[in-house]
Structure 1
Amino acid sequence: MKKEDCFYLGKIVSKYSFKGELLAKLDTDEPDLYDSLEAIFVDLRGNLVPFFVESSQLHKSDLLRLKFEDVDTEADADALIKTELYLPLELLPKLEGDKFYFHEVIGFSIKDKNFGHVGMITGINDSTAQALFEIDRDGIEILIPMNDEFIDKVDRENKTIEVNTPEGLIDLYLEE
């Protein structure tokens, strides 16, 4: 399994018991979706290694208490502290309507209500305060904020996102 075929689930933050149990902090709004997993991929020095889950249960709000098969001692558990956890993309819950995962809209085209066809989404920049669509228009990069007020429709069937941006936003990138 390659990392690009997976999504980041969370990170092992501490041991829970002396019998090899671990606590993982999950990066999700719905931790209860992940409390009955059979296996999880653990990133060990850049390789995703499958670990089979013997038992798991939610602990507090966003922590998952895990017991992996063949991790039976404190030393075994210590080796896994601070490792990242991944799951295959197909285990992501399907989103409906205008909600989407960043990875699923790469390659979609963007149409603006006033401007028309803008270009193709090549990436998402989420390192800023507000995430941005990175759009390629014939070699020119256009950035459009991923603001709920701008997104009119996500059409998965036709791989299109319709937006209604403030007048002049797109033109800023096209003026010589």
Structure 2
Amino acid sequence: MLKEECFYLGKIVSKFSFKGEVLIKLDTDEPEEYTGMESVFVEYNENLVPFFIERSGLHRSTLLRVKFEDVDTEEGAEDIMKCAVYLPLNKLPELDGDKFYFHEIIGFTVEDVNYGTVGKITAINDSTAQSLFEIDKDGKQVLIPLNDEFIEKLDKKNKIIFVKTPEGLIDLYLD
């Protein structure tokens, strides 16, 4: 399994018992969606390794208490401490309406109400305080803040995002 085919679910943050149980800090608004999993991928030595789950349950809201098969000791749990946990993209819950996952909109066309066709989304930059659409417009990069107030409509069927940006924002990148 390649990392590009997965989404980040969380991180193993602590041991829970001397029998190998661990706590995973989930990066989700709906942790209860992930209590019945059979397996996950753990990033171990820069590889995604499948780990099968014997049992799991929520522990204090966003922590998932997990007992993995073949991790039966405190030392075994220590070995996977601070490792990232992933699931395949097809395990993401379906989103309603104009909600979307970042990976879903790569390749979508951005249409601005005032400017017209801006270009195609090549990436989402979420390493800054404000996530940004990275858009290719005839070889030039245009950055638009991923802001609910700017997004007018999402047309998943035709792969178009309609936005209304402040006047002059797009021109900053193209002049």
Q: Which residue of 1 aligns with 2:29?
A: 29
TM-aligned CA deviation for residue 130 of structure 1 = 1.2
- For residues 12 and 32 of structure 1, the distance between their equivalents in structure 2, rounded to whole angstroms, comes to 17
The one-letter amino acid of 2:98's match is: D
Give the deviation of 1:97 after TM superposition: 1.5
Question: Residues 50-89 of structure 1 correspond to what in structure 2 (within 5 A)?
Answer: 50-89=50-89
Tell me the CA shift for residue 73 of structure 1. 1.0
- The CA distance in 1 between the partners of 2:73 and 2:150, in whole Å, is 52
Q: How many residues align?
A: 175
Counterpart mapping for 1:99-110 below 5 A: 99-110=99-110
Q: How far does the alpha carbon of each residue in 1:62-103 deviate from its partner, in whole angstroms, 9 at most, with x for none?
A: 110000111111111111111110000000111121111111
Counterpart of 2:123 in 1: which secondary structure? strand
Unaligned runs of 5+ in 1: none
1:17 positional shift: 0.6
Under a length normalisation based on structure 2, what TM-score does the superposition of the two structures give? 0.97
SS in 1 for 2:127: coil
> What corresponds to 1:117 in structure 2?
117
> Distance between the aligned counterparts of 1:77 and 1:122, measured in 2?
39
User: Alpha-carbon deviation of 1:49?
Assistant: 0.8
- More displaced 10-residue stretch of structure 1: 105-114 or 122-131: 122-131
Runs of 4 or more above 3 Å deviation: none
Q: Unaligned regions of 5+ residues in structure 2, if any?
A: none
Q: Does 1:9 align with 2:9?
A: yes
Structure 2 residue aligned with 1:169: 169
Q: Report what 1:41 is aligned to.
A: 41
Aligned partner letter, 1:33: E
Deviations 1:125-169 (A, max 9, x none): 112221111100001111111111110111111111000111111
Q: SS of the residue aligned with 1:172?
A: helix
3-state SS in 2 of match to 1:170: helix
- State percent identity of aligned pairs: 67
Q: Distance in 1 between matches of 2:72 and 2:173?
A: 58
Q: Aligned with 1:103: secondary structure? A: helix
Aligned to 1:137: 137
Q: Which amino acid aligns with 2:131?
A: A
Q: Give the alignment's Cα RMSD to 1 decimal.
A: 0.8
